[in-house]
Amino acid sequence: MAAVTVKQGDTLEWVVTVSEAGSGVDISAWSIRAQIRQGDTLIASLTVTQTEAGSGVLSLTATAAQTDSWSAGTHRCDIEFTDGDGDVFSTETFDVVVLEDISHD
């Protein structure tokens, strides 16, 4: 997965599709979470919304107020899934680059 960039104080919305062999996977019975961390320190737990669960589409979001408090720098993130059978698996870990906001109050 490529690095993702966000500026402090900006609204964050990432749309993700869970697929297997090119087709969306039904995630309606799944539990999903995503966290951004710097080492062991939790920066944020993202809000996960299954927008089109039958097709595997979900969004990960954070409000502008939430990202405003994130420290600038490179952090780490993954998405963890628990399927309907209780099996747990995660995406590969990817970088989240938080940039300093220049235009702010």
Mean of pLDDT values over 62-67: 97
Question: Nearest Cα to 78, choosing from 31, 46, 41?
Answer: 46
Separation between Cα atoms, residue 6 and residue 87, nearest integer Å = 31
Q: What is the pLDDT of residue 2?
A: 80
In contact, 18 and 81? CB cutoff 8 Å:
yes
Please tell me whether the overall predicted TM-score, pTM, comes out greater than 0.85 for this model. Answer: yes
